[in-house]
Amino acid sequence: MIFYSHIREYMTMSDVDVRGDNRQHKGLEIAATAKIAKKGEAWLVPSQSGKGRYTVCLDPTEPHCSCPDHEEGGFKCKHIFAVEYVIQRERHADGSTTVTEMLTVRKTRKTYPQDWRAYNAAQTGEKAKFLDLLDDLCGGIAEPERQKNGRPPLPIHDALFSACYKIYSTVSGRRFMTDLRDAQAKGYLAKVPRYNSIFNYLDNPALTPILNALITESSKPLKAVEIDFAADSSGFTTSRFHRWYDHKYGAMRQQHEWVKVHLMCGVSTHIVTAVEIRDKDASDTKLLPALVDTTAENFRLREVSADKGYGSIKNYKAIQRHGATPYIAFKSIHTGKAAGLWQRMYHFYQFHRADFLQHYHKRSNVESVFSMIKAKFRDHVRSKSDVSMVNEVLCKIICHNICCLIHESCELGIDTVFWATAKQEI
């Protein structure tokens, strides 16, 4: 079982011992989940069964509650504990409120200066370094067995190199031919393919697992740097439209089709470590375990942050299985009744919100990753078929990872080496 020092300290406080008396524990749950209103000198506390409310009067010498538990036994009931926790949570020694404290935290948030020397060196020499790294990355894929009949296909290295370089250029296939001829003159290509051959390769479903393997391999050089990760999803628009007749308004409606991308990235270098692309209506929650497991194959996980759309006990267990701490925001319908890690993190979220948010806000880095990819390599795909659209997005992520490696080589001096163990056959 994983213990967290800040949670353990919180749980062992003499007045908030949630592992001890059952009334205190239930009072803590009521304070965290129910709306407790003050009416004059009394407090109105909702019943956990959902039937009515009880009146609590916090007399300094003899607190009183109208619930049967207190009136029959004279015990300090869970409703009295709940009111005490609400007062403790909302009032501080100096009279300030929780809202004031949150604003203070935001004003003193740490900022990170830009290393402009490293940034300028990475940007001004990016294209030349990009071609070198892309050539090394594609060179690790073994040549598939060729068919005896028919025209000899383009070497797998040249096909991958041309497809990724095409996405990096962001220009049309015909305009890209000049860049391909320059790449052949520099020794990166054995043969210049036709522009439509690149599109044919992107439409090949056998290319999808290979591109996923290239994303994984391109993230490995930073496995000694990244230990905190964030997950989210975003969409890339396509040139296809979905049209339907709206009977309510008597008019034709249309909207863009789009590719939904689920990914996990490191929060320090923005490197993408795992990608899942399913249909546009795929649930975010169900895909998080696959992203975590893929990342854990090559990285040591310390923290995983995600928004409330990923909040489930299954996801908590998937993260805990790899020894990491989940910082996932809770929905309003969530409660702390589930035992184990979920319960501890829920109470930490409710009563130590500022400390929780310091970890949770690392999640904003995955938003930065999507912004970087869309700004540099476009927020739409040119392909028409489902397979080619997926492969085009995967090429965008490969290009993004290589650009991250170039920047980190200038800033941290990391030497990028692909396929360090052996050539892998996909």
DSSP string, 342-364: HHHHHHHHHH-HHHHHHHHGGGH
Q: Is 351 exposed, middle or buried (0-12, 13-18, 19+ CB in 10 A)?
A: middle
Is the residue at 100 inside a domain? no
Q: Indicate the average pLDDT of the chain.
A: 84
Number of domains composing the chain: 2
Chosen domain end from 90, 124, 147: 90
Q: Are residues 226 and 375 in the same domain?
A: yes
Domain, as residue range, for 264: 111-426
Is the residue at 361 inside a domain? yes
Q: Are residues 242 and 385 in the same domain?
A: yes
CA distance 18 to 8: 11
Q: Are residues 269 and 407 in the same domain?
A: yes
Higher pLDDT, 34 or 216: 216
Of all helices (H) and strands (E), which one includes residue 188?
none
Q: Are residues 163 and 22 in the same domain?
A: no
Is the residue at 154 inside a domain? yes
Q: Are residues 128 and 26 in the same domain?
A: no
Per the structure block, which two tokens stand in for 380? Answer: 């739409």
What was the pLDDT predicted at 2? 38
Where are the extended beta strands (E) located within 153-286?
A: 228-246, 251-266, 272-278
pLDDT band with cut points at 50, 70 and 90 for residue 244: low
Of all helices (H) and strands (E), which one includes residue 328?
strand 325-328
pLDDT for residue 92 is more than 90? no
Residue 186: which of 124, 137, 130, 140 has the closest Cα? 130
What was the pLDDT predicted at 313? 92
CA distance 188 to 184: 5
Is the residue at 99 inside a domain? no
Q: Are residues 283 and 366 in the same domain?
A: yes
Q: Are residues 59 and 201 in the same domain?
A: no
pTM of the complete model: 0.73
Q: In Å, what is the CA distance from 179 to each residue of 84, 125, 137, 176, 223?
A: 70, 17, 19, 5, 32
Is the residue at 348 inside a domain? yes
Cα 151 from chain centroid (whole Å): 44
pLDDT tens digits along 161-213: 999 999 999 999 999 999 999 999 999 998 888 888 899 999 999 999 999 99
Higher pLDDT, 274 or 71: 274
Spatial strand order in the sheet of 53-57: 37-39, 42-46, 53-57, 64-65
Q: Are residues 286 and 421 in the same domain?
A: yes
What was the pLDDT predicted at 96? 53
Q: Are residues 80 and 121 in the same domain?
A: no
Q: Are residues 74 and 117 in the same domain?
A: no
Is the residue at 101 inside a domain? no
Q: Are residues 172 and 267 in the same domain?
A: yes
pLDDT band with cut points at 50, 70 and 90 for residue 242: low
Per the structure block, which two tokens stand in for 132? Answer: 């070198």
What was the pLDDT predicted at 424? 43
Is the residue at 318 inside a domain? yes
pLDDT tens digits along 69-91: 887 777 788 888 888 888 877 66
Q: Are residues 78 and 129 in the same domain?
A: no
Is the residue at 103 inside a domain? no
